[in-house]
Chain A
Amino acid sequence: MSYNQRETPILAELCTFLVEDVYGELAARVYSILARHGRQTLAAVARASYLNGRQIKYGLVILLQQHLIFHSGGEPPVTYYEIDWQNSYAVVRFGKVAKLVEDRFGRKAANVMSNLLTLGHTRIADLKEAYFPPDTESDDDSDDGVVNGAGLKRKRAYEAHVNGKATKLNGVVNGVPAELDDVKPDPQSLANGDHATNGTSKAAKANGTAHATVIEEVEDNDEIASVDELYDIIRLLVERGWVRTVSDTQYLSPGDMHDMLQQRAIEEELGGAAMTGTKDKEKVHRKTQQLKRQIRDEWLIPPKFSRKRGDDGSNKRVKINGANYASAHKASSPEDELVVRVNPEKVSVAMRTEQLVQLVEQRLGPVTAYIYQTMLRMLEAHTPRCYEDFPEPPLATGEVVAEITMDPRFLVNARDIAKRLPRDFDVLEGLDPNAVTAVTRKGHVHRSNILSTAIDPSNLSMDEKTQLVDKHIRLLAEDPLHFATWHSRAGFSQWHIEFEEIAKQLIQSEVENTISARKGSLGVKLIRALRKKGKLDERATCNAMMMSAADIRGIVNDLTVQGFVQTQEIPKVERREAKHSLHLVWYDRQRAREKLLHDTYKGMVRIVQRIAFEREKAQPLLSKAERSDVVGNEAKWLSKSELDALQKWKEVQEKLLLQLFREDDLVATLRDFHGPLVSV
């Protein structure tokens, strides 16, 4: 099962809060039933709640639309619903995603992305309508009666999503908290400019899921001017893997998916016969993993986009959409019927880039960090995910599966980077002056390490720039974390990045950071000693740390209590006497990682709860400030102390949200960049 799909009670609690914040109470109530009881049928959900059938269905529709739950499309008539933990948690990242997209593709793309996040999966045509409302209301979506009535059988529900989304949600919106009004995909409210962005950012702000500033500063030139431009943006996002098309199989939970594919593997490998013996098992396992990879990779194949809109295009979407195509807009592009959603795995990749760049900045300075950022973003385009969820199992004989030759798309050289640097970028900074003169061959270095002839970075030739960039890359490569690894000399040196190893180091450094904050350098020293040497008894620990036993006993105890180190007593004599036993201490990275992840979830829950508490205290004031006569005339209707209190609430909320997002960064490091660790 996917590492992301592992659920703990605390994660369930956190996700329930997040869902309630963003999607309102009804969705949250349905969600919490699934969170508490696990996989359920509609009937079971109904039994476990006080909601009526209609309400539950509405709830489920919202959850499905946002991909917060899976459903087993298994044998009708029974459909099971199950929470998608990864996507549920991802709600906290909405704001971050918009920011990441903005940094890479600009504000317009970020705007499209925010809308996609708000809407859940979306038909491209609906997105288009949101930006460019048609003159007359299309009646193509008017079959919501069917949808809402019986739409929860898998097939139906799915078609309904594809076809009648807007109407369906409109129906749902009635009777749910006002929060959802903001995300109501009424085409008008999604239009360009202020209205749309306000809607998004307000929802986001109120719900604690966005860097509010990102979306608020909308300038005029951020408007998407034409349908073509919108399509180009969508196409770019799809091609870069940020957005993927939706298909039936994405609704299957990892468990269901596994069953289905294992069954298929058995049919293909063993002709449907029952598995007997380890050999068969291995064969089937290998095939299953392969099928899982295959299915997943298919989700990411970008569909062909027609060059000219309005062409009577080929029927690419038929595959996805089936018969519904017939009822689609006649005068529209062939890709209109595609249903797309944000690809959460890509978000992790981008978050990894950001964190690595931050780390390099801390260790090697901003210039090297910027070069690294350029390098990583070039690689991002071809990196669909941080780690392989379904790795090829090792051969039984123990030999490693033949090393696949490095895909040239994962290689970077200094020249590619140099070409992408801004003209006035000071590539000289952060280097040893001697390295600089070695490249430029101008002047020399004074004893005080000052250049005899100053060099203006904007006058460097491309060759010189390239060599200087290479010096920075060498700094990256020499670092003990090996941020880059030399690959070959083809052309200028080519480099690749061993993300696996670096991700492990990131996890380790977060564990160390945590211990350092709590216990200072002594705790970190102990952890490092144990990590390096494995299980140690007291004497060996003393030797590694070069300290006396009395000085380290306390810290061993403290870290044991906190769950970061493990201890073990091995009796040497028959009667278990402590005096005669061997006392071993060790550090298990995976355990420490899980403990820290769990605690971080808990920390996030507390922050969310505190936000709720602070809001509750400010509520009377907030209600007053939101009154229509007050809005815009705050100075007139609110007293000085009320204004101050309002300001204070905003600051408090901002501080808490910022912390929440930083905790999310930690979750990403601990959970999303690397699969389970095997250590000790």
Chain B
Amino acid sequence: MASAAPPLAVPKVEEAAVQQPNNEVVSPADALYDRCGERSQGTVFFQRDLSNMQVAGTMAELTMLLQELCDRHLMKLMTLEGEPCWKLRSRSDADKLRRLTPDERLLYHHIDQAQTEGIWSKALRARTNVTQQVLTKCLKSLESKELVQSVMSVKFPNRKMYLLKHLQPSEDIAGGPWQSEGDFDAALIEAVSGAIAQYVENETCIKVPGNWNDYEQHDRTAVIAQKKAQVQGLRDIEEAPAVKPYLSMGDPTASKVVHKNSPQYPTAASVANWLNSKGILRGKSCREDDMEQLLEMMVLDGRLEKISGTSYRTVLTAVDTKVYNGFVDAPCGNCPVFDLCGDEGEISARTCVYFGQWLETQSEEI
């Protein structure tokens, strides 16, 4: 990308502009400007591009025209890989710029230099040496003229970063695709991680119906039990056939999800590709780093688990019933007065209402 010209050249240009307001209507300079305006917005012009337009007859004339356009703020001088180059400004912007005070213009220039990264107000002051009052005043005025905008940095939440109005703040200050206005976009994150969870499950798991392996049972005890059940016309739970000794029966409707045999485990890169190809993010694209952040968060959430350094898979639980542990499943493990509860006295195991409810017995009245 183009970087702005060294600041040294700037004051000179600006002074010139202030001293010699130029109001020619149709001049070679304007012609050059118009020719450049025919190209797509944001194009960067090198010297040979401009001379190829054949507006100026000689190189010296071209230099003069460019100087004039720069003085009128219609063009901006930059360097790209050491070569000078120019970019257009809209006439309205140039108009606004012409009306700026020198201080404002100085600040504008520094802000312009920072491009999408933005510049912190303190850094701005340090570079320009203006007083705090001037700084505040000028920034306000620039903002009200819609030339610059301020954004809260995501990296340093108490820093106000300034950048030009028409620029999209970089991810460093505005956060990745998961953030909007400096905060995490919970709804977006929820939607995207839901889609990703499904994707990863498809990649790493397989749904197996209960009757996937429908072999003949010839377990004698099972046969006997089944016969018995037929005879009695009812099925005795106690004597339910121990067909597959460690499992429930192969019910075709009860399918279960198991880990795939040697799958291609998704990585941040592959999931990012998938997501971008689906266009779920509407215009924004997701880089590998962004995806890693999201996937790591999903690991914390217990939706994914990490298999090796970079690959992920779905967390499966084979049983549905959620038991925690012996402590928290008992009344005391979740008791609001746990720390106050003593061996005797008003709050104790004898008087405990929670035990009373849990056991359905009477506790001691206090």
Contact = CB atoms under 8 A, between A and B. Distances in A.
Interface stretch (A110-118, A128-136, A338-346, A601-609): A601-609
Contacts of B349: 606-607, 609-610, 613
A451 B297 contact: no
A514 B325 contact: yes
Contact of B325 (A433, A456, A513): A513
Interface in A345-381: 361-367, 370
A652 B359 contact: yes
Contact of B300 (A13, A366, A528): A528
A281 interface: no
B327 A596 contact: yes
Contacts of B305: 480
Given A451-B212, A544-B300, A610-B349, A517 B319 contact: no
A362 B319 contact: yes
A449 B207 contact: yes
Interface in A617-645: 617
Contact of A366 (B215, B246, B325, B362): B246
B352 interface: yes
B258 A365 contact: yes
Given A435-B261, A480-B305, A663 B330 contact: yes
Nearest to A651: B359
B291 to A, nearest CB: 12
A84 interface: no
Contacts of A314: none
A450 interface: yes
B359 A426 contact: no
Interface in B183-211: 183-184, 186, 189, 206-209, 211
A542 B185 CA distance: 12
Given A362-B317, A433-B212, A449-B207, A613 B326 contact: no
A4 interface: no
B334 A662 contact: no
B247 A426 contact: yes
Contacts of B214: 450-451, 454
Nearest to B206: A432
A425 B343 CA distance: 51
A652 B307 CA distance: 45
A431 interface: yes
A454 B355 contact: no
Contact of B183 (A430, A514, A548, A665): A548
A511 to B, nearest CB: 10
Nearest to A433: B212
A434 B212 CA distance: 11
Interface residues of A, number: 80
Contact of A361 (B244, B318, B324): B318
A467 to B, nearest CB: 12
Contacts of B219: 424
A664 B326 contact: yes
B271 to A, nearest CB: 15
Nearest to A437: B261
B330 A425 contact: no
Given A426-B247, A614-B361, A521 B302 contact: yes
B247 A450 contact: no
Interface in A532-563: 532, 539, 542-548
B186 A648 contact: no
A61 interface: no
A367 B247 contact: yes
A430 B258 contact: yes
Contacts of A525: 300-302
B245 interface: yes
A578 interface: no
A539 B157 contact: yes
Interface stretch (A213-221, A244-252, A488-496, A653-661): A653-661
Contact of B215 (A367, A454, A524, A666): A454
A443 B214 CA distance: 13
Contact of A432 (B218, B261, B294, B361): B261
Contacts of A600: 326-327
A677 interface: no
A545 B247 CA distance: 38
A666 to B, nearest CB: 5
Chain B contact residues, majority secondary structure: loop
Contacts of B319: 361-362
A566 interface: no
Contact of A513 (B208, B244, B328, B355): B328
A448 interface: yes
Interface string A456-497: 110000000000000100010010100000000000000000
A613 B364 contact: yes
Interface string A494-535: 000000000000000010011011100100110011001000
Most chain A beta carbons < 10 A, residue from B155, B306, B324, B327: B327
Contacts of A613: 349-350, 364
A69 B80 CA distance: 83
Nearest to A511: B325
B247 A471 contact: no
A456 B218 CA distance: 9
A68 interface: no
Contact of B208 (A432, A475, A517, A659): A432
Contacts of B225: none
B213 A603 contact: no
B33 interface: no
Contacts of B341: 606
A607 B330 contact: yes
Most chain A beta carbons < 10 A, residue from B306, B334, B359: B359
B288 interface: no
B261 A429 contact: no
B333 interface: yes
B324 A517 contact: yes
B134 interface: no
Contact of A428 (B183, B213, B317): B213
10 contacts: A361-B318, A363-B318, A364-B316, A425-B246, A432-B260, A449-B209, A454-B214, A480-B307, A517-B329, A610-B349
Interface of B: 155, 157, 178, 183-184, 186, 189, 206-209, 211-216, 218-219, 244-247, 256, 258-261, 293-294, 296-297, 299-302, 305-307, 316-319, 324-330, 332-334, 338, 341, 343, 348-350, 352, 355, 359, 361-362, 364
Given A364-B318, A451-B213, A606-B352, 16 more contacts: A424-B245, A426-B246, A429-B213, A429-B247, A457-B215, A471-B261, A517-B329, A518-B333, A521-B302, A525-B301, A542-B184, A544-B300, A603-B333, A606-B341, A607-B332, A609-B350
In the complex, the 6 A-B pairs of residues with the closest C-beta atoms, listed nearest first? A662-B326, A435-B261, A663-B326, A609-B349, A517-B328, A432-B261
